[in-house]
Amino acid sequence: MRLLLVEDDLILKDGLERSFVKSGYAVDVISDGEGANKLLTYQEYDVIVLDLGLPKLSGFEVLKRLRARGSNTPVLILTALEDTQNRVKGLDLGADDYLTKPFELAELEARVRALIRRGVSGGSAKISFGVLTFDTTNRQCMAGDIALSLSAREMALLELLMLKAAKVVSKTKIMEHLCSWDDEISENAVEVIVSRLRKKLNVFDIEIRTIRGLGYLLAKLENQHS
Amino acid sequence: MRLLLVEDDLILKDGLERSFVKSGYAVDVISDGEGANKLLTYQEYDVIVLDLGLPKLSGFEVLKRLRARGSNTPVLILTALEDTQNRVKGLDLGADDYLTKPFELAELEARVRALIRRGVSGGSAKISFGVLTFDTTNRQCMAGDIALSLSAREMALLELLMLKAAKVVSKTKIMEHLCSWDDEISENAVEVIVSRLRKKLNVFDIEIRTIRGLGYLLAKLENQHS
DNA sequence: ATCAAGCTGACGTGAAACTGACAGCTAATT
DNA sequence: AATTAGCTGTCAGTTTCACGTCAGCTTGAT
């Protein structure tokens, strides 16, 4: 899942980034409003964590322009301001959630998870598909009652495929979701990850089907047709 | 917009109800968990405001069962508990937002508005014909509940035929639809694609009928005559 | 019967995808 | 610091597959 962090406080920035990366997100960080606004005109994210107090262009303004462009990417606002006024203003501008500093990391992560979940699926912390159950909270995937040991990449790919249920996910989309701005991977890399993940999944009644020229989709073995 | 308020505190209950009604919501109020759970099995809402501390069945449980039934109705949790644990637990159970008492009315309303706004999304363009459903955005065609595995060309042809419903589509039209202007294909190529698509469709009650000299049309098997 | 229109199995080609091997990197351990 | 193990991207050789062409056949109108 790809996340944009807009924050100018150096310490907070680094801490949050490291924490999110560790949790398996592809994170881009930017520290001023103007840059964020520009970035958001051409790059899609799964979720945005936005500090309101920013140099050059306020968080309010970034949010307002984002929504004005018709985007409905989930946005979580960070604010040092205690008063209700600004929260309400933020929410009415189209923010989906907010957190008041100081906050606990665990809570921020839980809220980010909730936003992503809401955006893509409608369900709870656990995503299911056939015998597979993916627990987004502690990032573990079970097949029936045995735990799969997946690498970070494989995990992220499987999460994406499961979130999209049985829909086709293009390689480009996969690349976007697995990589942050400064590291890009080839299409072939995606094929390799798919290949490795397949090896671990093909014991069960679930396969990653290739749709030539379009992408991949997760499918139960029985519903295939010719 | 229809809203369910699950709250046992008498004073809060009345205040919230009056306020929401005033804002134009259709509000149902119920004060115990068991009743709420039962109600939710047969009544759909646009948004649910749910207190966690309830008699008979806790808010957690109500939420868990709601999600277990596959509902993705937005839920906003109200809680008197200050500790982070319960917030995280609630969000991970599939809540979309929460508010800690005491809160301001204006803020609750702003959040409810935000949830509803989020809710109305989704729904990609779909074309149907008989048992066939063609999802144009995901480029996938279902026959009943099983997915057809079609190649790009077959997909494009079927899309065109389904768009024109039961009308005749000429080979020329098909050629135009399948090819960009810089690559042309023969009429025979169209026949081949039709042939291949037929093989995959003739399991179902749908056929591609040939109208000599004019083109093809999609038809349900039962309405053939002579 | 004749002939044009349409059908379809077979085949070749080029593009897309797969995968084993390898190497750089990171993180953990000694 | 050195070592080791696991992760991950790249590369290259191979395989798979879509799809247009062709050729021979069937169909149907006259």
Compute φ and ψ for A84, nearest 5 degrees.
-60, -35
CA distance B190 to B157: 9
Separation of alpha carbons B125 and B136, rounded Å: 6
Interface mutation vs chain B, best among A82, A91, A108, most B CBs within 10 Å: A91
Higher pLDDT: A31 or A196? It is A196
* Span B48-98, pLDDT tens digits: 999 888 878 888 888 888 887 767 788 888 877 565 666 667 777 778 777
Q: Starting at the edge strand that comes first in sequence, how are the strands of the sheet with B146-147 ordered?
A: B126-129, B132-135, B140-143, B146-147
Tell me what pLDDT residue B28 has: 85
**Res B192: pLDDT:** 94
The predicted pLDDT at position A216 comes to 93
- Per the listing, tokens 């000599």 go with B212
- CB-based contact, A38 to chain B, within 8 Å: no
Q: pLDDT-derived band of residue A152, with 50, 70 and 90 as boundaries?
A: confident
Does the CB of A137 have a partner CB in chain B at under 8 Å? yes
Are B64 and A84 within 8 A, CB to CB?
no
Question: Quick check: A163 contacting B, CB < 8 Å?
Answer: no
CB pairs under 8 A between A and B: 90
Q: Does B167 touch chain A (CB under 8 A)?
A: no
DSSP H stretches of helix in B103-225: 105-119, 152-163, 171-178, 187-201
Percent of chain A with pLDDT over 70: 92
Mean residue pLDDT across chain B:
79
Mean pLDDT of A20-44: 83
Residue bearing the bigger pLDDT, B27 or A82 = B27
- Chain C footprint positions (protein CB, under 7 Å): 5-10, 16-21
Q: Return the residue matching tokens 């968080």.
A: A59
Which of B84, B138, B146 comes nearest A104 by C-beta?
A: B84
Mean pLDDT for A143-150 is: 86
Give whole-number Cα distances, B38 to A116, B3, B73, in Å. Answer: 29, 16, 15
Whole-number pLDDT of residue B121: 40
| Alpha-carbon torsion, ordered A35, A41, A44, A46, to 10 deg | 60
**Quick check: B153 CB within 7 A of strand D?**
yes
The H or E element spanning position B98 is strand B97-100
**What is the rounded average pLDDT of the residues A186-190?**
93
Q: Please tell me which residue of chain A has the smallest CA distance to B91.
A: A114
Q: What is the pLDDT of residue B190?
A: 92
Separation of A107 CA and D7 C1' (Å)? 29
Q: Do B152 and A209 touch (CB under 8 A)?
A: no
Is the pLDDT assigned to residue B34 strictly greater than 80? yes
Instruction: Please report, as a single letter, which amino acid is at residue B130.
Output: G
Q: What is the tens place of the pLDDT at every residue in A50-81? A: 998 888 888 888 998 888 776 778 899 988 76
The string of pLDDT tens digits covering residues B135-191 is 776 778 888 777 888 888 898 889 888 877 778 888 888 887 776 555 678 889 899
Listed as ranges, the nucleotides of chain D within 7 A of a protein C-beta are: 6-12, 17-23, 28-29
- Tell me the per-residue pLDDT of A78-89, one tens digit each, with 9 for 90 and over: 887 666 777 778
**Is a pLDDT exceeding 70 seen at residue A119?**
no
Mutate to test the interface with A, among B64, B66, B72, B92 (most CBs of A within 10 A): B92
* C1' of nucleotide D6: residue with nearest CA: A151
Helical (H) or strand (E) element with A108:
helix A105-120
- How far B68 CA lies from chain A's nearest CA (Å)? 8
pLDDT confidence band for A124 (50 / 70 / 90)? low
The confidence band for A125, taking pLDDT boundaries of 50, 70 and 90, is low
Pick left, alpha or beta for residue B171 (phi over 0 → left; psi -120 to 50 → alpha; otherwise beta): alpha
Q: Flag the least confident range among A208-217, B51-60, B113-122.
A: B113-122
Gap between the Cα atoms of A79 and B200, Å rounded = 57
